[in-house]
Chain A
């Protein structure tokens, strides 16, 4: 075959390969090595086999954190994906209004993650925060540091405010890339707004929505900085997500072995779900073309 004759293109891939090796593959190998040993310090380690995996897999607190994490990511996707598409559909298509709305929509994405947490701490404070004070003036005692339901509401609001813009931007880009001819054809056929959306816009957005879904799932599943700053995992353990619990084990207690085993389980969960989402979204509607 011809493509094997000229292999110079492989050199262009080399920098990425080296970068990935140093940023992902070598650290991952180190984590695998750590997960089978009890590490006391540099050069002091004992091989313990699968002991850490047994410990981690039977850890009740980890199970709780895992369900909490699934609930959080599930809610995030259920709210952000439809909301993002809806906003993208309502945005102006061209002219200065389109530019202005794009900039306004993208603003939350520019704020560093730990600052987001701080902003929302102040925003939801019952005494000086606009949101907290407003809710309290209605007669409901709102306090995200004391009630777990309030902590969840605050976290969800923060997450939706912070990350829906990403879905909007991707969906908007997907919508703008649809040729005008499709809409003209739909108009001639007398298609309703809903039919146009369901049979033209949504299928044409499949690629960008796949990326949006994967990014939002992975990011929300790995969330750390925002709940750490906002609630610190509390009240109690109400918002202790997987990464917060992981950091407690690894940095707080310096149990590198269990933390490494935990990280690998975490990694495998993300790998499985990302792959499943990818497969589902790539195969949706494929049968219709035939």
Chain B
């Protein structure tokens, strides 16, 4: 049974959750936040979306399979880990782009942010894999 009010609310909810997740991701490292918590919040949005629209639609929205998203997340983590090797430093050393942008002010862009983004993508992939496969087995909606 379609319910237009719920569908509209859920699509809006997904957008809000994603924006909040990105806010938390960028806020992390120095303040409470970070990749893991952001991923949980973002996947909550997707789970609500899946409950109303069905799992097929979420899978279509993600373009790639959840396994591949996990792989991409781990790849980002790997890059952030190995990048210092090319600057002849030990692996996992933090590298920073010196930045003083005109409008945004001082941003700290560096390998920790890349690492956190990798965690974000991996954890979202894991949570969505678990929940979507449970929903498929139970034939939810």
A binds B: no
Using CB atoms and an 8 Å cutoff, list the residues of chain B in contact with chain A: none
